A and B are shown apart, each in its own frame.
Chain A
Amino acid sequence: MTAAPEQIDVLDEAREQVLERGVGLTEAQVLKVLELPEDRIPELLALAHEVRERWCGPEVEVEGIVSLKTGGCPEDCHFCSQSGQFPSPVRSAWLDIPGLVRAARQTRDTGATEFCIVAAVRGPDKRLLSQVRDGIKAIRADGNDIQIACSLGMLTQEQVDELVAMGVHRYNHNLETARSHFPEVVTTHSWEERWDTLRMIRDAGMEVCCGGIIGMGETLAQRAEFAVQLAELEPDEVPLNFLIPNPGTPYENYPVVEGAEALRTVGAFRLALPRTILRFAGGRELTFGDLGAKQGMLGGINAIIVGNYLTNLGRPAQQDLDMLEELSMPIKALSQTL
């Protein structure tokens, strides 16, 4: 008779592997973390926070975002109220250049170092790129030196090169979910097409911002798969969104991700991505409330979007800035990003 092999606790493994050596968890390990009982969540979050402090430092990166072109998107991303394929109440709108300059100024005034210009499109056409170019020039002419990121869908190599020439330093393009779950979420383009754009961005020297949305019907195993696929990409930033079931979308009746499950996800993603900027993004207001947001900041998150999102509203920026002060978390300064 042989003795049963000793069960190694996944958080003990993570302490040695991730905290001490900076090596992210494997898919099987991430799944174990996602399956931890609720009474072990505080322990998970404490470890994730230690990992974040060890490998990323104490600073929090603050960002604001704005929608330059809202609604009317030809793609069918099932979570998105801006798709033209669903009966969403969101109507098409374009933000003009003075509006864009004001939004960048509002963002800078919060102390943010990042401003992301977003458009609901499959990919940018000449008109949109021209608007982005003019917008960036106008933001600079306003004396605003905030770092500018863009999120304009799938790109060609020529468009990547144009954005580099405009001085865009980071590009957001979310993989949204695990490769195995993506066809359930989007049918008008593939996960691989998104991946190709991300490789071009990386190869062109732009920072890669790539995350997704939790709570779109994926299994825990697919959530673990997604974390590891993101780690394989080695993005500079991962924005973590929680599904907002928006009216008119196919996911309008999906449940909001429950707080404990969301915190487990935050901790697990930090342990899979020890050196990456992990950003609280959309949906945290519904999923966490005020208390949960603090727990997340003390559980591996080191960046936030302040103020409103693209079509949904966030907490007032000052509320988040006050929270960071209360947690004694310094905001990353622009000088540290240049």
Chain B
Amino acid sequence: MTLFLTFTVLGLVLGAVYAIAASGLVLTYNTSGIFNFAHGAQAMIGAFLYYQLQVVWGVPALLSVLVLLLVVGPLMGFLLHRFIMGGLRDTADVTKIVVTVAILLGFVSLSHWAWDPQEARMTKMFFGVDSYVTVGGVVVRYHEIICLLAAAAIAIGLRLLFTRSRVGVLMRATVDDPDLLRLNGHDPERIAATAWALGSTLAVLAGILITPVAGGALEANALTLLVIDAFAAALFGRLRSIPRTFVGAIVLGLASTYLVAYAPSEWSWVTNLRDALPMIILFIVLLVLPQDRLRGAAVRTRERYEVPTVRRAAVWAGVMVLATVAFRQLIDDSSVGTLVLGLSFAIMALSLTLLTGYAGELNLAPVSFGAIATIVAFHSGIEGEGLDARMNVVGLALGVLAAALTGALVALPALRLRGLYLALATLAFGGLVSSMVLRETQERSWFGQDLALFPNGNLIVSPLAVGPLDLGDQTTFLYTASAVFAVLGVGVVALRNSGYGRRLAAMKDSPAAAAMLGQRLPLLKLSVFMISTGMAGLGGVFMSMALSSVTADHFVYTLSLSLVMLTVVGGIGYVSGALVGGLLAGGGFALIVGSFNELSIEHPVHAETFGVLSHLFLVLTALIGIGVGDNPSGNMHAIFRGQRVLARAPEVRYAALALTTVLYALAYTEVIGTWTFSLLVLVLWLALPAIGTALRAEKILPPEAVAARRATPLELVGIDTPYPPLLAEHLDRELGLPARHRATVPAPPVADATARTTTGPVAGEEAQHVPV
């Protein structure tokens, strides 16, 4: 009985913290329509700041808490809303999600920067472990009482806020009808900012409270995933009702402690299951949630993707493979591996182009599907021993199939629901893979077969060999990866141009209209999700082969999130966007951070500077991700736009091509380095629209623009803006000119009075070119 009570108390305490986190999530989601994936990361920052204040700097606990809850939390929420969330109107859900994901990544990088993750940190309970009361034989620590009281206070406080305070009533009104709120003289944006401030504060509070309850070790990744627990709790209230969210949180807390207490002792995986419990509960709740009502929703968002023809895609695929071969000649063997890794990630990113760019659904754990495929391929496809071991094509195929089937399982509960739920289900799946599958390092009986899923926490994944093709050779691997991406890229474009692809677009644009034409939406969603996760699995196996030895760290969820984010930054609606996103996520990061590390080893004096730079780079990347709010179609879209003007002056392109060839020759003969070559080529092609416009203005620009360009001699730039009438009159008076002239000339756009009188006819000509 005492055991039961003890675990009940523990469960309630855990539930209380979940409730605090979840209520903040529900609050911001409802008032601003943005689901904050960074909610857990905010909690994490709160926990670390508390550690910094209280443990490192020795600030009294109470003061630390007050600073965090009264200053840091509200400020963080306010700034997030003011500078980021406010700018997300008229963007697709995908963009909103990716922006908060970028914030999550930014916070994680910041925390890694400020607090070295290698170092162990512990926070203590308030008043220590030894301050407790005993109730009916159960030890209840002060800290736990504080958690319970805080949750109760928040439950009551929110209730009062929403019913007894004007700002709370206004928050509920925002949910109902923001336009009507405007008509009442309120500003919904300001109300949303208040909600963000409050929501962030709740996240910070949850972060401070949970660490000692959950064992005391501060761990950035685990804390960040608190968002999944909070979300699972919030689902009980369909992301709307705060009381039901509290109930969900308590259920979640109790379930996880009872599991630990009462699970049979031979279930050695129970501790893993406990970590994964919120995700499992999340799946179950998704299954029982009632279906969303179909509603008309064809609104124009700011994202734009253009679809190339298959022929065009094939040409570019060829160019890409040729470029890979040419580039291989310039780089040394060690760089080949990085490039292969980048291409493997690009294959995973391509799965997102199909799923997100074409079908409008989101997968936040592509790398976890890669993990599933890797494990299956490892167990079923490795032949031979030691260095001669190779993976056969059957293993690869089974791996891809496993990823696709797992995809179906993950998607199934969320198919009937909105895209946000599918995105969350995938994030939960990512957590599940990390906390359960990848921890299966010991042998256990699976349907009568003894097997360790992830033996010793380290898989040696041998390269693929199919007939004469042996990926054991790095160069062959590089060419193969490039060819596979190219073929899949063309395939994805062909799919988009087929009836299937049009049906995907229809589903994305207007689910209601697609359904009314007879489209079975769940089936279509399921099929595209399976194709996509299968492709992610393929990319994952390639990644594992490229790394040749993989651990759980290689499949961590932040990697998935970075990949998703960078693909959106590149342009998730484009194959080229996937290529850029993948290369950056897989190769670019490793390369750039790696070179900073190398530099700091080579120049120990500046080691610190290089360390800062490499952290700064990671944080900046997150900032770029946040920037997709301004450019939701991605950078490739903008680049294509720019290049298109050159169609009118093909000679510019030929010249650039020739120059590239010359540069290549120089690099090949080692006159210039590979880095220099890459950089120059990149700058050349990115700047080409500007260069072309400067050189061939009369061909590229419309006639008016050409005229405007020619009209203003350099020395007159800036002084040809029209004078405001008042100033002109004043000048006239000062210059003693007859004022009545003014009256007959309406709104004179003339350069300046003196120029007019002295140069006569020229002035008239000039006046025509004044921009209006």
Chains A and B belong together in one complex: no
Question: Which residues in B have some Cβ–Cβ distance to A below 8 Å?
Answer: none
